[in-house]
């Protein structure tokens, strides 16, 4: 979380952790919609999203959404409320920089358009890729980056370049006024205050699966390392809120 995000949290009253869960609720709600479900209890929705229902209700209360006793939440309306809160009821113009396998996959990813993200530019430094047609768009040369951002009103830059090129690309998009960067490159990007960077780790869901696979196989134990502190350090229990 950047300092700016901390300020935002204080200003707006919606905890950052709640913001991070709203897309997860939205994903669960879209799944329910796909199944034709019209209303959902907080317990069902919480279970689908992998949180406890008290937390879900509290999160949704930040949006002014409280459900109906004995009925739960109306799926379609809650989708609208969360989408509006997240800013998904308007279009966001996105440029994808780096058109390798991942950039191509992202350019054709249906989940962007359906969530209000419009890919308006594909840019690459490789002359062999520039000019190619990908998902109905022509790949442009990275030299045009600043022009594309200005002309098309790009507000979010998706960086899918190799690690070595990512920081330079990031510096250029930030200099062009873009303040939101989604980084798929395996590198930590340095940005000035006021710029939000989210880094995608495609292995996160795999790690959660691995946890369950390990559990199915019977190990490790419940508190495998309890009392097994770092060498030479004393253990203590900090105050923990319930």
Tokens of 149: 């951002």
Residue 126 or 213 with smaller CB distance to its own copies: 213
Regarding 198 and contact with its own copies (CB under 8 A), the answer is yes
Strand order in the sheet with 180-183: 140-141, 117-124, 92-97, 156-159, 180-183, 196-199
Which of residues 62, 141, 152, 172 is near its own copies by CB under 8 A? 62
Q: State the Cα–Cα distance between residues 163 and 129, nearest whole angstrom.
A: 18
Question: Does the protein bind its own copies through residue 136 (CB under 8 A)?
Answer: no
Interface with its own copies in residues 78-107 (CB under 8 A):
81, 84-88, 90, 92, 94, 100-102, 104-106
Regarding 12 and contact with its own copies (CB under 8 A), the answer is yes
Record the tokens describing residue 129, joined without a space. Answer: 């890729």
Number of amino acids touching its own copies (CB under 8 A):
115
Rule CB under 8 A: is residue 191 a binding residue for its own copies?
no
Instruction: State whether residue 40 is helix, strand or coil.
Output: strand
CB atoms within 10 A of CB 65: 16
> Is residue 138 involved in binding its own copies (CB under 8 A)?
no
Tokens read off for 57: 């209700």
Which of these segments, 120-128, 141-149, 166-174, 209-217, binds its own copies (CB under 8 A)? Answer: 209-217
Is 50 labelled as part of a ligand binding site?
A: no
Q: Is 8 in the site for its own copies (CB under 8 A)?
A: yes
> Can you tell me the distance from the alpha carbon of 205 to that of 133, in angstroms, rounded to the nearest whole number?
31
Q: Per the annotation, does 98 bind a ligand? A: yes
How far apart are alpha carbons 137 and 106 in whole angstroms?
13
Q: Based on CB atoms, which residue is closest to its own copies, 104 or 170?
A: 104
Of 18-26, 124-132, 142-150, 168-176, which part binds its own copies (CB under 8 A)? 18-26
Nearer to its own copies, 1 or 143 (CB): 1
133 touching its own copies, by CB under 8 A? no
**Complex with its own copies: residue 98 or 125, whichever CB lies closer:** 98
Q: Which residues is 39 bridged to in the sheet?
A: 74
The residue among 91 and 143 lying less far from its own copies, judged by its C-beta, is: 91
Q: How far apart (Å, rounded) are the C-alpha atoms in residues 11 and 175?
A: 26
- Tell whether omega for the bond before 220 is within 30 degrees of 0, i.e. cis: yes
Phi, psi dihedrals of residue 241, rounded to the nearest 5° = -80, 145
Q: Which of residues 146-185 bind its own copies (CB under 8 A)?
A: 155-156, 158, 179-182
Number of other CB atoms surrounding residue 220 within 10 Å: 10
Q: Is position 64 an interface residue for its own copies (rule: CB under 8 A)? A: yes
**By the rule CB under 8 A, 140 interacts with its own copies:** no
């Amino acid at each position: 979380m950047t300092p700016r995000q901390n300020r935002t949290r204080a200003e707006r009253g919606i905890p950052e952790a709640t913001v991070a869960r709203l897309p997860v609720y939205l994903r669960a709600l879209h799944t329910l919609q796909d199944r034709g479900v019209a209303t959902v209890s907080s317990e069902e929705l919480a279970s689908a999203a992998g949180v406890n229902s008290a937390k879900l209700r509290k999160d949704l209360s930040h949006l002014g959404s409280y459900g109906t006793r004995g009925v739960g939440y109306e799926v379609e309306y809650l989708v609208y409320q969360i989408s509006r809160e997240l800013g998904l009821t308007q279009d966001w113009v996105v440029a994808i920089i780096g058109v390798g396998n991942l950039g191509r996959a992202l350019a054709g990813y249906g989940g962007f358009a359906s969530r209000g993200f419009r890919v308006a530019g594909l840019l690459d430094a490789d002359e062999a890729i520039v000019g190619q047609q990908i998902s109905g768009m022509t790949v442009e040369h990275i030299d045009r980056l600043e022009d594309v951002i200005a002309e098309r009103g790009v507000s979010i830059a998706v960086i899918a370049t190799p690690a070595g090129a990512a920081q330079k690309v990031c510096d250029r998009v930030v200099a062009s006024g873009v303040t939101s960067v989604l980084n798929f490159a395996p590198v930590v990007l340095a940005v000035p205050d006021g710029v939000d960077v989210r880094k995608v780790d495609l292995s996160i869901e795999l790690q959660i699966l691995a946890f369950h696979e390990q559990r199915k196989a019977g190990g490790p134990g419940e508190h495998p390392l309890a009392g097994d502190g770092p060498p030479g350090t004393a253990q203590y229990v900090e105050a923990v809120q319930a």
